[in-house]
Chain A
C-alpha cells in the first residue's frame, strides 16, 4: 500500500505532470510526422494513399448512422420518460448497502449508456460537492477509468455489420462493474472517504 502512496506523492510533483502533459500534447504531431516521413522514405505515394484511406472513413461514418440513431433514440426515451430515475431510486438502497454513496449512483448507471450525459453528471457532481471531496474525486476517477460500453458496442459492431454480439455486452457491463468497485476502493484507500 505504501508504494501507492509514494507514487501519489511523486505524481503531485508539477514537473512530472508537466512532462506527462507535454508527451500527450506532442504525441499527435509526432505521430503524423513519423508516418509521413517514414512513408516518403519507403516510397509510398503518401498523398494518394491518404486519400484512398480517407474515402473509407466516409463510408464507415455514414454506415454507423442507423445503428446510433436506433440506440440513442431508445436511450433518450428511457431517460426522458422518467424510467431511468425510477431505476436509480430502485437501485439506490441496494447500492448503498454495498457501501456506494447515494450521490454517485446516477453516474454509475449513466456511465455505460451515454458518454455526454455522464460527462455532464461528473462535472455537476464536482461542482456541487467540490473537486477535492470524496464524491468529486470518485466521480473524476470513474469518468476516467470506464467507458461508454453501449456506444463502443454500437459503433464498433455497427461499422462492420456484426449482428450477433455473443457475450460482448455481458462482458462489457461486468467489466464496468469491476471498474466501479475498483475505483471506489482505490479512492477510499488513497484519499479517505471524506
Chain B
C-alpha cells in the first residue's frame, strides 16, 4: 500500500508538472525535500540521544515499570496483546504522557522505542502487529493538553484570548482519540474475521 501511494504521489506530481510546465519547480522540489528530510533527522539526533539516555536510566532503575503499574488497568484494555509487565507498556505510556504535555521532541524517541519493543513482541516480523496499528492510531490522533505552538501563534497575532482554544482542543483531541480507537478496533475485527 505504501509503495503504491509513494509512486502515485510522485508520478501524479511529474505529470502535473509536465502539463503545467513547471518542471523547474519540481527539480528544486526533489532536492528541497531530500534536504528537509535530512535536516529533520539531524535535528532528531539531539533529542533521541538525550531522551533515550534518560529512559535507559529510568528502565534500569525500575521507574518505567512503576509508571506502567500505575496506569496498567487502562492501557491493558487498549493493548490487550501486550503483557502487563512488558517494557513496551512503559514506553507506550511515557510516549502518551509526553504527547499530552505537548513535548513532541520527547515523544518521538519514546514512540520509536515503544515500536521497537512491540516488534520484539511480534517476534521481529517486518509486518505491523495489531498493537502497532493501535499505537499509531493513538499517536496520529495526538492527545494534547496544552497546544503550546498554537497559543504562541495566537498571541503573535494579538488574539483577545489566546488560550480560549485550549478546552475545545482537549475535547476535540479526546473525541478523535476515541474515534481512532474505535476505527482501529473495527479494522482489527474485520481482519480477524477474514482469518
Residue positions of A touching B, CB distance < 8 A: 4, 7-8, 11-12, 17, 20-21, 23-24, 27-28, 31-32, 34-36, 38-39, 41-42, 44, 46, 49-58, 60-62, 64-65, 68-83, 86, 112, 116, 119, 122-123, 126-127, 130-132, 136-137, 140-141, 143-149, 152-153, 155-157, 159-172, 174-176, 178-179, 182-183, 186-187, 190-191
Contact = CB atoms under 8 A, between A and B. Distances in A.
A67 B171 CA distance: 33
Nearest to A170: B187
Interface residues of B, number: 105
Interface centre among A36, A164, A171 (most CB of B within 10 A): A171
Given A44-B57, A145-B172, A178 B183 contact: yes
Contact of B163 (A4, A11, A143, A174): A11
Contacts, number: 364
Contacts of A53: 52-57
Given A76-B30, A152-B139, A52 B187 contact: no
Interface centre among B26, B52, B191 (most CB of A within 10 A): B52
B33 A72 contact: yes
B60 A175 contact: no
Interface string B99-143: 001110010110110011011000000111000110111011110
B119 to A, nearest CB: 5
B126 A140 contact: no
Interface centre among B52, B158, B172 (most CB of A within 10 A): B172
Interface in B55-101: 55-58, 60-63, 101
B136 A153 contact: yes
